[in-house]
Amino acid sequence: MNTPAATSLTMAESVVEHIPALADPEDDPAYHVFIDSLDYLPAADVALVREAYRFSERAHRGQVRLSGEPYITHPLAVAGAIAEWQMDVEGVVAALLHDVMEDTAVGKSEIAERFGQPVADLVDGLSKLDKIEFQSHEEAQAENFRKMLMAMAHDLRVVLIKLADRHHNLQTMAAVRAEKRRRIARETLEIYAPIAGRLGLNKLFRELQDLSFQLIYPMRAHVLARALRAARGNRRELLSRILEGIKGRLQEAGIEARVLGREKSLYSIYRKMLDKRLSFSQVLDVYGFRVLVKNVPSGYLALGALHGLHKPVPGKFKDYIAIPKPNGYQSLHTTLIGPHGTPFEVQIRTEAMDQVAQEGVASHWLYKDSEEFGADLQKKTTKWFHSLLDLQSGTNDSSEFLEHVKVDLFPHEIYVFTPKGKIIALPRGATAVDLAYAVHTDIGNHCVAAQVNFKPQPLIAELTNGDRVEIVTAADAHPSAAWLSSVKTGRARSKVRHYLKSVQHDESTVLGEKMLDQELRALGVVASELPVSSWKNVLRDSGNKLIKEVYTDIGLGFRLAGVVARRLLAREEAAQPTDRPPASLVIRGTEGLAVQFAPCCQPIPGDPIIGSVWKGKGLVIHTHDCLAIRKARSAKPTKWIDVEWEPEPGKLFSVRLLVMVQNTLGALGRIATEISSSGTNIEHVNMEEKHPGLYTTLHFTVQVASRTSLARLMRSLRRIPEVVRITRDQGLTA
């Protein structure tokens, strides 16, 4: 089905009617206000914008929005927002034309011919993939976001126009059905608002959050807004006292500054109430103050003066001037205890920093006096977009890619230091593995340990703000699947998954070849003796280009080895039952991800085993007597493969033991000592007291090489006087 990509009122869902056109579209008062706002552009550029408006109006003529307004009102509003940032003429023209390729018959070549290739590329980057068929709305959303992100990395104006487009859509959703309003608002909270925040567009970031909040939870937003208005009145005198006190202290210190009061956004108050389980009356720092100074030294002097006026809250001071946020944000943050014990936050920064704090990358166009800084911020932002695109290398799955990006948009950050003093920003809760991949993929793929503040720490231990972290690597080290449950950055998650998939792919190729050889031997044929023509037929029918690809499909469970074997022979008698017993597949246990050992029965060398190939998982090994597969074996006996162990075990295997002991002092220590002295590693232990005061059952998970070594261990444990009973837990007591 053709599912449109998501989410704009500017899609085919807009109502198309043949309505009379305006006598003169340029008579619209909104159009005149828009043209007047272009006074920063040369006259020739303004003439091009006028032409673009007329072109867009003709293209959309006869279309109206769900609200009943002429469709041209939407691109005009988006272009107006872009003009507020004083973007160049190409950006303004692209904003006016951003929907013509998607909703009209106008093509990219026509736009390029009339307005230039850069404008055509911008409009193309903003257009959705509505000609491609997707299986679901989620897949369409993810693939469209991938396309948009690629365009953003090429030209930052794409994201600014897209954000202005989304902002206007959220403002004009009264006519949209409630379900769709909520879906678009949730997408905005998950993707577009965090992008605005990451780009430093803090004013737009807060507005997108508040609009989305009001669309998802209209009643909650209404009640909270009413409570905020009431609190504003109740606290007016207190806030005035604090404001006058700050101004007076700065004046006494000879610091020239502007002091502004500010109010937390509705959504940020809501999130704080939700995250900390507070009522509105318990959220004390609803109001704050911003101090704008002339230069950086004045900012630090102002900080000292205010700390002398009111006591600071320990641990609440943040210096984003010395260590700016990745989006270029710079400010000093401190929380002070005001009159009556009321805490309030103060942000101290220069006027130029405030411009960047409000408009982020858009300040490059808006504030010419900070152009050099804005250009540097643009370079950093472009680099960040390219790092997001790098996440694609680990997957062809658009939904997985979108998941990685959402992880990377996590708003709360910590700052850690490398041994050379480089500062790296990571999401809160990040691990040393996240840092390793942030530095370089090879370091992440080969990290084995971490020194945090000169002390050894596990790779998956959470880092904290200000940590000095040194990553230790080894040439033979490789990523672990267990890392996926602890890493926080999209980059680390993507790289680990990419490695595991490539390893599984290679291991599955080897397994598939062994499984096909097994089937061919059962049919009395040696694989190496097959003619090339036999493989040509199989490759033609399967759509694979290489024999290796067929092996991989077999190992991953996407093709049955028996079917491929008979197709290779292409003989009538090959399809008939053979008297030869099927050969068993021999495994060593070191095949890696291509062979998985079922957690229900935990087979170990020496156990009679059987296997089944599952799509995408490879070969899963169970013991013959595993209860978990009893029904499946009887229902589909042909799905199961006889498997044998190689004589020499290739690795250690986990196995569970149940040990019932008498409740005596030191029993656990003696058992653990006996296990360790036998050369066996304890992976996990816990206990349950089934007969209070008499017996305790200990649950051990240990690593053994084979069934024989397990038997020796169990015999040695039985000799301990406190041990009443010991059994192997294979999930057979269901």
> Which residues are the active-site residues?
102-103
Q: How many CB atoms lie within 10 A of CB 361?
A: 26
Pairing of β 695-704 and β 640-645: unpaired
The DSSP element (H or E) to which 312 belongs, if any, is strand 311-312
d(CA 471, CA 434): 11
Calculate the alpha carbon distances from 53 to 25, 74, 126, 286, 642 in Å.
9, 12, 17, 43, 72
Q: Taking a C-beta distance cutoff of 8 angstroms, is the pair 497, 395 a contact?
A: yes
Q: Cβ contacts of residue 511 below 8 Å, gap of 6+?
A: 554, 555, 591, 594, 595, 618, 619
Angstrom distance (rounded) from CA 134 to CA 2: 6
Q: Residue 421 region, left (φ>0) first, then alpha (ψ -120 to 50), else beta?
A: left
CB-based contact 272:294 (threshold 8 Å): no
C-alpha dist (Å) from residue 153 to 321, 425, 433, 682: 27, 20, 26, 49
Phi/psi of residue 586, each to 5°? -95, 125
Cβ neighbours, 10 Å, residue 150: 16
- Which element (helix H / strand E) includes 239? helix 236-252
Torsion of CA 400, 403, 407, 408, to 10 degrees: 70
In angstroms, what CA-CA distances link 643 with 11, 479, 553, 609, 637?
56, 28, 19, 6, 14
Q: Are 496 and 580 in contact (CB under 8 A)?
A: no
What percent of the residues of the chain are helix, what percent strand, and what percent coil, each to the nearest 5? 50, 15, 30
Task: Name every residue whose Cβ is closer than 8 Å to that of residue 70 and which is 6 or more positions away in sequence.
Answer: 19, 22, 60, 63, 64
Taking the C-alpha atoms of residue 107 and residue 100, their distance in angstroms, rounded to an integer, is: 8
- Evaluated on CA atoms 231, 232, 233, 237, the torsion sign reads positive
Q: Which residues contact 181 (CB under 8 A, 6 or more apart)?
A: 173, 215
- Three-state SS for 180? helix
Which amino acid, one-letter code, is at 89?
V
Contact at 8 Å (CB) between 430 and 464? no
- N-terminal to C-terminal alpha carbon distance within the chain: 45
DSSP type of residue 330: -
Q: d(Cα 314, Cα 190) in Å, to the nearest integer?
A: 32
Please provide residue 557's backbone torsions phi and psi, each rounded to the nearest 5 degrees: 90, 10
Strand, helix or coil for residue 608: coil
